[in-house]
Structure 1
Amino acid sequence: MAIQTIELFGRKDIKVFNERPKNIGDILSNSAKNYKEKNAIVTEERTLTYSELDSYSSIIASNLQKKCGVKKGDRVAIIIGNRYHFPLFVFACAKLGAILVPVNVKLAAEEIAFILGHSDVKVIISEEKFIYKMDEIKEIDSNVIPHKDLILVIDGEDTFTQLMEDKYELEKVKVDELDSVFILYTSGTTGKPKGAVLTHINVIHSLINYKTTFKTDSTMKTLIAVPMFHVTGLVAQLLHILFVGGTAHSMERYQNDKYIETILKYRINFLFNVPTIFIMMSTQEKFQNNSFDFVTKVAFGGAPIYQQTFSMLRKAFPNAEMHNAYGATETTSPATLMPLTYSEEKVTSVGLSVPVADIKIINTKGDECKLHEVGELYIKGPMVIKEYWKNIEANKSNFLDGYWLSGDLGCVDEDGFFYIRDRKKHMINRGGEKIFSIEVEDVLKKYELINEAAVIGIPDPLYGEKVKAFIVSDQLTEEDIPKIKNHCKKNLAKFKIPEVYAFIDELPRNASGKILKQSLKEKRGN
């Protein structure tokens, strides 16, 4: 696909695809024309064809206009899990030029209150089981909640149906590719969450990046087990599959057996998960006793992939192309993707930069790194967000000369393959020696009886920091620590070997499956 260079959001030399849809609404309209009665969305409660998804989302859009007064640029919050209502609101808001604010349903009332207040939402749509949080929010700050008539409920009293009752004619709104379409709030592990503003041009380029690199088409069937309110579920799976004319199955809550049964029942051929889900699947008899030779594409991201896990995937899905992926909310999902083919020695890489990305690696002196030298990834391209919502400080500190500063440490090899070594804030400094946690975790994971591992730095009176390992295993105990240390000695320099060990039942994770190292640090001890 032809590429040209433009100025975008005041950033120069941004590469864009010449031929591209103008907005998210056009993506659905195009797919609805081509695939009409084909299933677009299959959830546990309802199936929507492309025609139904297009027509119902237009009805909702017109009712939001007429009954709720939603105009272009207004924010609409949804507190909805992986249900058929979610994609309806995605496209309803896109057609209105409104900005959808998907809220993490697992957040506490105080956290939701901040998001609703900060984004100044006009309408809230929530599942009934989460509506109790509205009362808690009113006690925290009544100003962040719209008028009660602008809070619509799914299930129970079901005021959501008000948006489907009347068929008003949708007042056409000109939606430009530079307009904002989503505000996705980051996890905020080190402070208040930041609202990443995704525009239509951001999302569209990510969809083209996936389609171009993965070679996806209308035969794709995916199963969304990660939350749709996160960028992987929303962009990498839901919108990506609808863009290419495939079918997006989803489940409201991940369960091993149910996930495996659904893959087998519908012959899902495109899987995209954090490595943890694949690891959990592999322990199930139903997984071990069935063939998955119909799966053609397997993608993973959000956490490092270990050689052991990759080998398991290769064996379990013998006919699938394996794609590691690296990105963030701020890059609208992918910044790098593994190509269709690559050598075995590259399996722990996160791949090549997507076609329109410009990625450079910068050291602590501000100079561009040499090959294999570790530094921070600076990322530029049309998939990088426009800005953080109402956050002048974050906009100043997170962008430089058109690049987004990722906070991730990595390197690139002579073939252009990128490797992520650590988060900048998670690097351990032991007496001046830099230790990348992923490197130590990779070695621990190779120990046969360790299911998962995570390491952090804890205070040390002599060296400043030392390495502590958190280990998940159903067979190992503290008596096995000498054996684990001996294993580490064979693979790591002495200063990198964990000095303190803790055995836990599971690693703390956010809704998208990423390990919450801050939670580990809060209970780290000595």
Structure 2
Amino acid sequence: MQVHDLLNYAAINSPEKDAVWYKDEWMTYRQLGDATDRIASFLLNQEFRKGDRVALLLENSHFYVASYFAILKAGGVVVGISTDATVDRLQYQINDSEARILITQTRFMKIVNQTTEELTSLRAILLEENTGTVPENGRILYKRYSELEFASVRREFPRTIDIDLAEIVYTSGSTGKPKGVMLTHLNLVTNMKAISSYLHMTGNDRMMVILPFTYIYGKSLLLTHVLKEASVVIDNRFVFPNKVLDTMEELEVTGFSGVPSTYMILLNRSTVRERNFSSLRYVTQAGGSMAPVVQEEVVKAFSPAQLYIMYGATEAAPRLSYLEPEYLFERRGSIGKPVDNVELLVCDSEGNELPPGEVGEITARGSNIMIGYWRDPEETAKVLRHGMYYTGDLGKVDEDGFFYVVGRSKEMIKVKGFRVGIKEIEDAILELEDVVETAVVGVDDPLTGEAILALIIPRKKDWNGKEQIRNHLKKRVPAISQPAYIEFRDSFPKNSSGKILKAQIKGEENKKDRSGKTSVVS
């Protein structure tokens, strides 16, 4: 089965079923299928060949969903571009993937027009709206969706197999240039079946989607629900969280998903605790570690809906493990056990499996694991070795097979020659009620090599709880893990999926002169 077959079957089996809600309007599976065929036919009319790449620069919408499935149905490869992409990032991803066609919206043409001449592989741009003007360009064909003729819609489409490339998903590039994760139809479909299984999904489910579809976690919400012929509700107004909560109540959604910062916003800047989500069956969290104390608050806020803690990576399409809600408090801090058709191991650098309780790198194998990074064999070889995918996460497994992440191998701070894990410090800080969010990074220090900097977003702006934080940390983490500096912030830079950009923070903090500040750790 290929990814676009999920929609083909849904359109045949449940044509009048509500598929996607966006801006107060439902699109049925029949309507979605028709729109998909229309766009796929346009692509094939552009001398499109199987395996050609198509870039998607769109916000979550009906048009995004139809365009995504259309690219795959035409035998193409999806290259999703984040809606917060800079001109440089847009240019890099289109040129690196050699995308021949760009599907976008008028609002993004400002940055597209700034780099059109440098996009040498681009041959056509398809716009959703009729508004706005398009520039004259003899090399690039500009077309609007409304101009696509129904008479030219094809009834036959290229044949693909499940090991064909479906997507190139570019990583955030927080540790260097973005890497293009190559995911096949098999990678995605296998993982969607596993996710829908442990979440006990049915055609009656209705998912609230606030995460961007360009983000693999967001994409999984769409694909799992199309797989089950269920429904997704798109609301891009999370900057006003109560608006999203209103939609959840009004449309009686059964599922909600977010990253740690999503839940921190809901717990601290919304009326989530006052709501009654009578239809809500479950909420899921992935996209980074969420402190156990925050997990407990989420459970209280959304009760009786169950909380699923999930773990994965873009390279795993994306899910590797999940923690059953019944073990949330019994296995505090665990990422659970592997999903169907995935094997997880804790290994040393040579690929040898380590015994329970011993810390090593979490590795995985399964039919969901990427085939490599796009045109980057050197980076591919670093993570795909010994027949396993090396996640970069340090972890351990207990005697009962429950896995735990103890930190990122790249997020260790080296203090006086000792490797210090960030996660333990952040989890301890978040136990304080006056703290909304925290980011711990290592900053250059001439004496200790690196010093620990804890940045805090307090619940109240006038809170000056440095002493309270230090006293708490003295009880919770070793002396070597005590922050040298504690500073307060109003916000943190984040990417479109809500992850804190620690590499950017670290770079900015290392430019500051701390010679006048006294380090607490000597």
Same fold, judged at TM 0.5 (above): yes
Indicate the percent of aligned positions where both proteins have the same amino acid: 27
In 2, distance between residues paired with 1:363 and 1:333?
A: 23
Q: Per-residue displacement from partner, 1:226-270 (whole Å, max 9, x unpaired)?
A: 1111101112x0011111121101123423111111111111111
* 1:402 CA displacement: 2.3
Structure 2 counterparts to residues 367-382 of structure 1, below 5 A: 367-382=352-367
Following the alignment from structure 1 to structure 2, what is the Cα–Cα distance between the partners of residues 350 and 55?
A: 40
* Equivalent in the alignment of 1:161: 146
Map of 1:36-115 to 2, 5 A cutoff?
Answer: 36-44=15-23, 46-66=25-45, 68-115=46-93
How far does residue 477 in structure 1 lie from its aligned partner after superposition? 5.7
> For the structure 1 residues 295 and 391, does the alpha-carbon distance in structure 2 shift closer, same or farther, using more than 3 Å as the test?
same
| Displacement of 1:106 | 0.6
- Asked if the contact 1:42/1:250 (under 8 Å) is kept, the reply is yes
Please tell me whether the aligned partners of residues 472 and 503 of structure 1 are also in contact (alpha carbons under 8 angstroms): yes
Equivalent residues in 2 for 1:345-424 (5 A)?
345-364=330-349, 367-424=352-409
| 8 Å CA contact 1:449, 1:476 repeated in 2 | no
Q: Which residue does the alignment assign to 1:243?
A: 227
- Spell out the pairing of 1:136-151 with structure 2 (5 A cutoff): 136-138=114-116, 141-144=118-121, 146-147=122-123, 150-151=124-125
Distance 1:313 1:142, change over 3 A: closer
Amino acid at match of 1:459: D
Map of 2:6 onto structure 1: 27
Structure 2 CA distance, aligned partners of 1:402 and 1:50? 40
Q: Work out the number of aligned pairs and report it.
A: 499
Matches within 5 A, 1:504-515: 504-515=489-500
Instruction: Summarize the alignment of residues 325-364 of structure 1 with structure 2, pairs less than 5 Å apart.
Output: 325-342=310-327, 344-364=329-349
Partner of 2:164: 179
Alpha-carbon contact 1:61-1:170 (below 8 Å) kept: no
CA contact 2:241–2:270 (8 Å) conserved in 1: no
Name which of structure 1's ranges 468-477 and 175-184 shifts more when overlaid on structure 2: 468-477
Moved more, 109-118 or 472-481: 472-481
How far the C-alpha of 1:45 sits from its partner, in A, is 5.9
Query: Alpha-carbon deviation of 1:176?
Result: 0.2
Task: Give the aligned CA root-mean-square deviation in angstroms.
Answer: 1.8
Matched, 1:210 2:195: yes
Matched, 1:130 2:104: no
Number of the residue aligned with 1:309 = 294
Aligned to 2:139: none
Q: 1:111 is aligned with what amino acid?
A: R
* Counterpart code for 1:60: I
Helix, strand or coil at the partner of 1:184: strand
| Shift, 1:167, TM fit | 3.6
Letter in 2 for 1:212: S
Alignment partner of 1:193 is 2:178: yes
Distance 1:285 1:119 in 2: 40
Counterpart-to-counterpart distance in 2, 1:470 and 1:134? 36
Q: Is the 8 A contact 1:131 1:153 kept in 2?
A: no
CA shift for structure 1 position 509: 1.3
What is the alpha-carbon distance in structure 1 between the residues aligned to residue 186 and residue 350 of structure 2?
33
CA contact (8 A) 1:477 1:503 kept: no
- 3-state secondary structure, aligned to 2:91: helix
Aligned residue type for 1:480:
G
Q: How far, CA to CA, are the matches of 1:516 and 1:482 in structure 2?
A: 27
Name the CA shift for 1:389/1:162 in 2 (closer, same or farther; >3 Å): farther
Change in CA separation of 1:166 and 1:79 when aligned onto 2, cut-off 3 Å: farther
- Deviates further, 123-132 or 389-398: 389-398
> What amino acid is aligned across from residue 31 of structure 1 in structure 2?
A
Q: Deviation digits for residues 420-470 of structure 1, max 9, x if unmatched? A: 222211111212322110100000000120111111112233322221101
CA distance in structure 1 between the aligned counterparts of 2:154 and 2:468, rounded to whole angstroms: 71
Answer yes or no: is 1:116 the counterpart of 2:90.
Answer: no
Say yes or no: does 1:493 pair with 2:478: yes
List per-residue Cα deviations over 1:394-437 (Å, max 9, x = no partner).
22222102212211111111221111222211111212322110
CA distance in 1, matches of 2:237, 2:90: 20
Taking the aligned partners of 2:193 and 2:149, their CA distance within structure 1 comes to: 32
Contact 1:294 1:319 in 2 (8 A): no
302-311 vs 212-221, which deviates more? Answer: 302-311
Deviation of 1:96 (Å): 1.4
Are the aligned partners of 1:293 and 1:318 in contact in 2 as well (CA < 8 Å)?
no
Q: Distance in 2 between matches of 1:455 and 1:283?
A: 20
**Quick check: 1:292 aligned with 2:269?**
no
Asked if structure 2 preserves the Cα contact closer than 8 Å seen for 1:220 and 1:270, the reply is: yes
2:138 equivalent in structure 1: none
Can you list the C-alpha shifts for 1:486-522, whole angstroms capped at 9, x where unaligned?
1111111111111101111112211111111101101
Which whole-Å CA distance do the structure 2 matches of 1:343 and 1:184 have between them?
A: 31
SS at the partner of 1:78?
Answer: strand
Would the aligned equivalents of 2:91 and 2:119 in 1 still touch at CA under 8 Å?
A: no
Q: 1:285 to 1:502 in 2, by over 3 A?
A: closer
Task: Report the counterpart of residue 135 of structure 2 in structure 1.
Answer: none
Report the counterpart of residue 462 of structure 1 in structure 2: 447
Letter matched to residue 120 of structure 2: N
1:164 Cα deviation (Å)?
Answer: 5.2
Partners of 1:164 and 1:344 in 2: how far apart? 57
CA distance in 2, matches of 1:193, 1:136: 21
SS of residue matched to 1:396: helix
1:219 aligns with 2:204: yes
User: Any idea what the Cα deviations from partners look like across 1:276-334, whole Å, max 9, x if unmatched?
Assistant: 21221223463232212421111001121222222222212222221111111100010
Partner amino acid, structure 1, of 2:228: V
For residues 142 and 99 of structure 1, what CA distance do their matches in structure 2 show? 18
**193-202 vs 389-398, which moves further:** 389-398
Instruction: Measure, in 2, the Cα distance between the counterparts of 1:164 and 1:405.
Output: 48
Q: Determine if contact 1:223/1:250 at 8 Å carries over to the other structure.
A: yes
Name the SS of the counterpart of 2:56 in structure 1: strand
Aligned pairs (5 A) from 1:470-489: 470-475=455-460, 479-489=464-474
Give secondary structure in 1 for the equivalent of 2:245. helix
Unaligned runs of 5+ in 1: 1-21
Would you say the 8 A contact 1:435–1:496 is kept in 2?
yes
**Aligned residue identity for 2:38:** I
The residue number in structure 1 matching 2:518 is none
Q: CA deviation at 1:478?
A: 7.9
Q: 1:261 and 1:295, CA in 2 relative to 1: closer, same or farther beyond 3 A? A: same
- Cα distance in 1 for partners of 2:400, 2:19 equals 38
- Partner Cα distance (1:497, 1:299) in 2: 32
1:267 paired to 2:252: yes
CA distance in structure 2 between the aligned counterparts of 1:433 and 1:298, rounded to whole angstroms: 38
